[in-house]
Structure 1
Amino acid sequence: MVDSFYDGSPYDQETVRFYDVALEGAQVRLVGGFMEDGGFRTLEGLKPRSVVVLVKGEIAHGCARLVEALHAPLRQPLVITATLPSYIGALDVLVVVTEDGGDEDALRALITADQRGSTSILVGPAAGPLIEEVPTDTVVVPTLPTAAGMSPARVVASISTVIDLFAEDPHIVAARLEHVAGYVNEEIEALSPERDELVNPGRMLRNWVEGHRVIHSGGSELGMAIANVMAPLWSRRGLISAVLDYPELVVSLPDLRGDNSGQHDIFYDPFLDDNPGVVPFRAVVWAEDEPGIPDAMAQQCDGPSKGPLASALRLLTRGQAATTYSVEEKDL
């Protein structure tokens, strides 16, 4: 997959930014291979009192919430927190998600959980003091050594795997991850920077939101979970945006759209004309076939029969890719 984007010629800026996106399918496949090799053996058939997911940052928090949506209704409580609960003990499973190789809080949490007999999993970076000093019984989920930043697909796949192994055969879970990885790679092919807006759904989305205030939303629990990952991820990468629950978005439309007289004048340029008012608004409605409201674009993927995890990770990958494209200025 990665080789198709690199032939030895110099990278352009879009290809450089797209690099981590191009690895998302491989990250999922790596989690599945780790399980096939017995990396998650201590979790198989476990029936914990609770699963505690310790996260820092809104993107990681959103990924954990997405897992919650994908597995609802849950067999055991899923506690998503930034602080280790005082009750953590031998009946609980701890999953720590961090991209900081020197995260001392994460290390203390893993040591505390280990001392109290908890099963612990680290979804962390490829290297750093944290990786070197974790307790020997902690399951360290591997990552691709060349990846530069957090992989939402890896985080979601890892937490999902932990939950699935409490009730499913590990070979079934591994086969599912292999299937999901292939589906994500199909999306990555469609999102290649070499493909233009007519055939690239990520570039189409990026161009559509250019020059607008953006609100992410979803008409379902899954759509809202994806929106809660996308808003901080886009903002972190320079596409400042926010998230609203769909009913809140509908109620807020008059205020969000503001004075529409200029927005619908085909000769009106909000950046060149006098008194442009507010920057125009657009919404992205995730995991829906139709947006259902004006000034909005729906994001859905084909093949729901491939499973909710595959569809969710495909949409996450598309949202990531949208932040990597350049927007060419159009001639007036």
Structure 2
Amino acid sequence: MTAPTPLFDLDDGDALVAADTEGVLRSAAMGGAQIRATRSAMEDGVLDRLQGLRPRSVVVVTGAGRAGRGAAILTAVIAERIGFPLLRAPGTPLWVGPLDIVVVAGDDPGDPQLVEAVDTAVRRGAEVVVAAPDEGPLRSAAAGRVAMFAPRVQVLRRHGLLRYFAVLLAVLRAVGSEQWRDEVPDLEQLADAADAEALRDRPGGEVFHNPAKSLASRMLGRRIVLTGDTASGVEIARHGAEALLHAGRVTTASELSDVLSSAGVFRAQSHMQHDSIFHDPELDGPSAVSPVRTFVMTAEVDRLATERKTVVLGDVDLVLASSDEESITAVRPELEQAVVLVGRLDMTAAYLQLIGGI
């Protein structure tokens, strides 16, 4: 048996760019541009109607795809640190009224769930913010009665998470009070972090110095499990699993506790693969069942504790936004880390898609 091998070398930047007929690398690197476009919309006055409001709550209604994941990551990080409830719902709740803000986000302007959420929130007098294409039934439902964030930067749908992330942050900054506004970072700061990661992950960079290529190389030839040691880390891991599907990688993402409880199964499978007396790698090729490698989204401040916790997994890889020695304890760095890891996973998936193989 001969296993498929990559079609391109990860270090061959020219070949990767030439093979990228869909523009997937450029699209994956546009996270910073999407965040800046949202900031530009704020400066154009899109959210002026929210300035000075003291909302009873902010409710986020999302469709399928990246909008829901972006809201989940942000909510996991910041919901407990602001002065009002921030919650996600499948539709506009019955109790929503003039004291609330409803953010409706999604890729499909014809999604009846989003259209109904906008119509219901408007009729109940809530302030409504829509992050979706300004067209179709959604445009009719909005009808000039909402703050509309239509896409200003065109990317592949799979790379839209940071736009939704930025729109929700923009809403929180618009209504922020002096007591907790510092908990919500400026969008320019996050855009800089996203752009810096895209620069590190550029096609011309060598694997050793390129975080996305390095991550892709460590995923080759493995069955992949993604997880995180925090609620936001788990959501980022789930985004990674979704991104890797576009690269043809069947991956799973789960809570760290569930992954740790499966450690015995992973070790048993690894033992069977390496100790079979009937399998000769030179004659038979690689094992039909590739080994499992676990990737854990974590922060530098939690690195040692996470290493001790996950050592039972054996083949485990910690994924950090930065390897620099620094204290990461405030919310601002945590949100920056989320932005960096989302961008890196998108670029990793892009490289795996382009090089082919397993």
**Alignment gaps of 5+ in structure 2:** 1-16
Alpha-carbon distance between aligned partners in 2 of 1:155 and 1:237, rounded to the nearest angstrom? 23
User: In structure 1, what is the Cα distance between the partners aligned to 2:71 and 2:185?
Assistant: 22
Query: What letter matches 1:319 in structure 2?
Result: L
Quote the sequence identity (%): 24
Which residue does the alignment assign to 2:200? 190
Question: Are 1:295 and 2:323 an aligned pair?
Answer: no
What is the match of residue 103 of structure 1?
A: 111
Structure-2 residue corresponding to 1:307: 333
Match of 2:77 among 55, 70, 76: 70
Aligned length: 320
1:19, distance to aligned residue in structure 2 (A): 2.1
Contact 1:262 / 1:268 at 8 angstroms: preserved in 2?
no
1:159 matched to 2:185? The reply is no
Q: Which moved more, 1:49-58 or 1:184-193?
A: 49-58
Larger relative contact order (CA 8 Å, sep ≥ 6)? 2
Q: Which amino acid aligns with 1:17?
A: V
Change (3 A) 1:72 1:106: closer
CA contact (8 A) 1:88 1:116 kept: yes
Contact 1:14-1:193 at 8 Å conserved across structures: no
1:32 paired with 2:39, answer yes
User: Per the alignment, do residues 125 and 259 of structure 1 end up closer, same or farther by CA in structure 2, a change over 3 Å counting?
Assistant: same
TM-score w.r.t. length of structure 2: 0.78
- Distance in 2, matches of 1:123 and 1:30, equals 12
Q: Normalized per residue, which structure has more helix? A: 2
**Partners of 2:67 and 2:107 within 8 A in 1:** no
Instruction: Quote the RMSD (CA, aligned, Å).
Output: 3.2
Cα distance 1:214–1:61, how it changes in 2: closer, same or farther (>3 A)?
same
Aligned-partner Cα distance in 2 for 1:270–1:50: 63
1:279 aligns with 2:290: yes
Q: In the TM superposition, what are the counterparts of 1:141-290 in structure 2 within 5 Å?
A: 141-150=149-158, 151-168=160-177, 176-261=186-271, 263-264=273-274, 269=281, 272-273=284-285, 276=287, 278-289=289-300, 290=303
Q: C-alpha offsets along residues 103-133 of structure 1, whole Å, 9 cap, x if unaligned?
A: 2331222122111101111111365553465
Local SS of the residue matching 2:271: coil
Alignment of 1:15-164 (within 5 A): 16-57=23-64, 59-73=66-80, 74-125=82-133, 127-131=135-139, 134-150=142-158, 151-164=160-173
Cα pair 2:63 2:114 within 8 Å, conserved: no
Secondary structure at 1:258's aligned position in 2?
Answer: helix
Native 8 Å contact 1:34 1:142 kept in 2: no
Give the conservation status (yes or no) of the 8 Å contact 1:258–1:278: no
Determine the structure 1 residue equivalent to 2:350: 324
- Give the structure 2 partner of residue 3 of structure 1: none
Distance in 2 of aligned mates of 1:68 and 1:245: 17
Shift of 1:172: 7.8
Q: Secondary structure at the match of 2:293?
A: strand
- Asked whether the equivalents of residues 28 and 181 of structure 1 are also in contact (C-alpha less than 8 Å), the reply is yes
Closer, same or farther in 2 for the Cα pair 1:268/1:141, shift >3 Å? farther
After superposition, the Cα gap between the structure-2 partners of 1:285 and 1:27, relative to the gap in structure 1 and judged at 3 Å, is same
- Give the Å deviation of 1:328: 6.3
State the shift of 1:204 in Å. Answer: 1.3
Cα separation, 2, equivalents of 1:315 and 1:271: 40
Q: Provide the C-alpha distance between the structure 1 equivalents of 2:139 and 2:267, rounded to a whole number of angstroms.
A: 48
C-alpha separation in 1, matches of 2:235 and 2:172: 17
Q: Distance in 1 between matches of 2:100 and 2:165?
A: 20
**AA in 1 matched with 2:115:** L
- Between the aligned partners of 1:220 and 1:234, the Cα distance in structure 2 is 21
In 1, Cα distance between equivalents of 2:315 and 2:262: 13
